[in-house]
Structure 1
Amino acid sequence: MTVQQRLDERYGRSPNEDRRTRRILIIGGIIFTLVFGSWVVWGGLSGTNATLEVRELGFAEVTETSITVAWEVSVDPGTDVSCAVQALNENFGIVGWRVLDLGASDQRTRTFTETLRTSEQAVTGLPYGCWLP
């Protein structure tokens, strides 16, 4: 009897266990591949592929209590969009905030400006983000 055979006998290992382990790993890999592939196909073909892009254009008219923010939204014509606009102080704390509902339009790209009231002087203003309602 070889050393390997004695060790296998001592610890209860057999060639059948290796085949069973290999079979379980192969089946698990196949199941994972099927689930992952289904998820990718479902996510890619879900239907709603509206593109939404937001670009900050800058800010102006900074006073002690307000700031005017300009931004651009690009979305498919006829799509409603909501955007949050914020004003930040020198420590990057939010000192002004507003959520705006932008109605649908026949233009893909539109430019907006909004004046925000602030709790203290802002040093910058920008769109926080936009989303499809």
Structure 2
Amino acid sequence: MSNPETATAGIPAGPNASLANRYGRPKSSLSKRAVALLAAVGLVVLVLAALFLSMRSQKSFSTTDVAFDIVSNRQVDVTVAVTLDEGHSVTCGVQALSEDKAIVGYKDVVFDAADGQDAGGKLRTVQITVPLRTVFAAVNGGMHGCREN
């Protein structure tokens, strides 16, 4: 007969020994150098993403509500101006508002830098008077929002 001590002589003792024999050795964890390298790469990616998002949100134009003129209960003339870079165009919504701030007239207008006057440097200012038909009497008018084309 064999002795139980000699039968297990080549196998390390302890609870982890039987698991290691059954499932294999556990994988070694990342080295400190690998963790530092991954952290540095992650930080660089985070900074680049923040830079990209901040540059993307910068507008290349500015808008100004110049004037509005109530022609009748069903029409208002709204004068608006956009200053933008040469070679660019912008589409803006021009709206008329009622006394309770409801939109009673709306029109999309395209502002092209080629139509504007020199505003210094590479900037051009385009000013347009937009006649808006309204469904009720308007008391105010101006820009609603703009987007680059």
TM-score greater than 0.5 by the shorter chain: yes
Task: Provide the aligned length of Structure 1 versus Structure 2.
Answer: 109
Q: Retained in 2: the 8 A contact 1:62–1:122?
A: no
**Cα distance in structure 1, aligned partners of 2:102 and 2:142:** 13
CA RMSD across the alignment: 2.8
> 1:54 touches 1:129 (CA, 8 Å); kept in 2?
no
List alignment gaps of at least 5 residues for structure 1.
Answer: 1-22
- Output the TM-score relative to the length of structure 1: 0.68
State the 1:31 CA deviation: 6.2
Partner secondary structure for residue 131 of structure 1: strand
**Shift in alpha-carbon separation, 1:28–1:130, aligned structure 2, 3 A:** same
Q: Distance in 1 between matches of 2:67 and 2:38?
A: 52
TM-score of the superposition, structure 2-length normalised?
0.61
Partner of 1:33: 43
CA distance in 2, matches of 1:51, 1:129: 14
Structure 2 gap ranges (5+)? 1-31, 118-123
The answer (yes or no) to whether the contact 1:81–1:132 under 8 Å persists in 2 is yes
2:91 to 71, 82, 86: 82
1:113 to 129, 141, 144: 129
Percent pairwise identity: 28
Q: Distance in 2 between matches of 1:98 and 1:109?
A: 20
- CA offsets 1:45-94 (integer angstroms, 9 cap, x no match): 67xx7611001012013411010001110001121111110000011000
Larger radius of gyration: 2
What is the aligned partner in structure 1 of residue 141 from structure 2?
A: 125
Q: How far apart are residue 118 of structure 1 and its match?
A: 0.2
Q: Give the Cα separation in 2 of the matches to 1:39 and 1:61.
A: 47
Secondary structure in 2 matching 1:122? coil
